[in-house]
Amino acid sequence: MYTINHLKEIKKNKQKFAVLTVYDASFAKLLYNQGINVMLVGDSLGMVVQGHNSTLSVTIHDIIYHVRCVKNGAPNCLLLADLPFMSYNNNEQALNNSIKLMRTGANVIKLEIINQWSLDIVNYLTNYSIPICGHIGLTPQYVNFLGGYKTQGIHENDANKLLNYAMFLEQSGVVMLLLEHIPELLAKKITEKLKIPVIGIGAGIYTDGQILVLQDMLGITSNIPVFAKNYLNNHINLAISNYIKEVESGIFPKNKN
């Protein structure tokens, strides 16, 4: 069973770790067998699985469903799960939804931090020893408030605010932090200041871990963010077009199929 202590050890030894999002049992098993020990059922599923143009429509029931699928495929991974948009409006709701996710198999609850209200919610959850991953920087659930999917923490005031959030979160007892789409040197400063493991996406090379959305790194989403990388080079497209060709030309199926 992979735990947060493995990640603390990796940070202590100045090593790096890779994390991916995943939404189904087959991919979870495949990722685990390839050495991905930390996985996220994130609300990006609203975009890459459900086809919406934001994460706002995702519900706690959607996350629960996918946590169950992933945990079935990779029971020993360290599984992070998102509290989706407005599923942590107040302390009790946040606690109840975190409990639901943990009872389904999530090991760490991730939530997006936008202001003092969300910091207070985190504080409340950590008092109950809920293992929390704070998500700061670009927080897609608040895309309308932020005015788009833009880099955060560019101006000195905003950078200081994010640094203060990071330190507040560590003091509150969160077990890890995720930085999205912030300048590399700010991510470096935060990563070096904190003892807890820090994961980055679009936050440069210095964070302890990196995360990508699986569909982005497989190149099968239509709008791949600039900070992602396509590792697959259209092999899925090729497999599907080969299947069509073989069916149409009578090559597939053979008797054994």
Q: What distances in angstroms separate CA 65 from CA 49, 107, 114, 227, one per listed residue?
A: 13, 15, 26, 28
For residue 254, the minimal CB distance to ligand KIV (Å) is: 40
Contact string 188-227 vs ligand KIV (x = CB under 6 A): -------------x---------x-x--------------
- Residue number, 52 or 239, with CB nearest to ligand KIV: 52
User: Which of 23, 39, 44, 152 touches ligand KIV (CB under 6 A)?
Assistant: 44
Q: Other C-beta atoms within 10 Å of 56: how many?
A: 16
Rounded Cα–Cα distance for residues 94 and 36 (Å): 28
Q: Exposed e or buried b for every residue in 116-130, given b needs 16+ CB within 10 A?
A: eebbebbbbbbeeeb
Residue 82 binds ligand KIV (CB under 6 A) = yes
**173 Rama sector, left if φ>0, alpha if ψ -120 to 50, beta otherwise:** left
Q: Which residue is nearest to ligand KIV (CB)?
A: 42
What percent of the chain is helix, strand and coil (3-state, nearest 5)? Answer: 45, 15, 40
The DSSP letter of residue 113 is: -
The answer to whether 141 contacts ligand KIV (rule: CB under 6 A) is no
Give the helix/strand (H/E) hosting 220.
none
The stretch near ligand KIV (CB under 6 A) out of 38-46, 121-129, 183-191, 242-250 is 38-46
Q: Which of 23, 43, 97, 136 binds ligand KIV (CB under 6 A)?
A: 43
For the bound state, the minimum distance from the C-beta of residue 36 to ligand KIV, rounded and expressed in Å, comes to 14
Shorter beta-carbon distance to ligand KIV: residue 42 or 131: 42
Which residue's CB is nearer to ligand KIV, number 194 or number 212?
A: 212
Q: Which of 9, 180, 192, 248 is catalytic?
A: 180
Asked whether position 132 contacts ligand KIV by CB under 6 A, the answer is: no
Q: Residue 139 is encoded by which pair of tokens?
A: 């927080």
Answer yes or no: are the C-beta atoms of 21 and 214 closer than 8 Å: yes
Size of site (CB under 6 A) for ligand KIV? 11
Burial of residue 95 (CB within 10 Å: 0-12, 13-18, 19+) is: middle
156 belongs to the catalytic site: no
Contact with ligand KIV (CB under 6 A) among 42, 131, 137, 197 = 42
The residues that touch ligand KIV, with contacts defined as CB under 6 A, are 21, 40, 42-44, 82, 178, 180, 201, 211, 213
Please list the active-site residues: 180
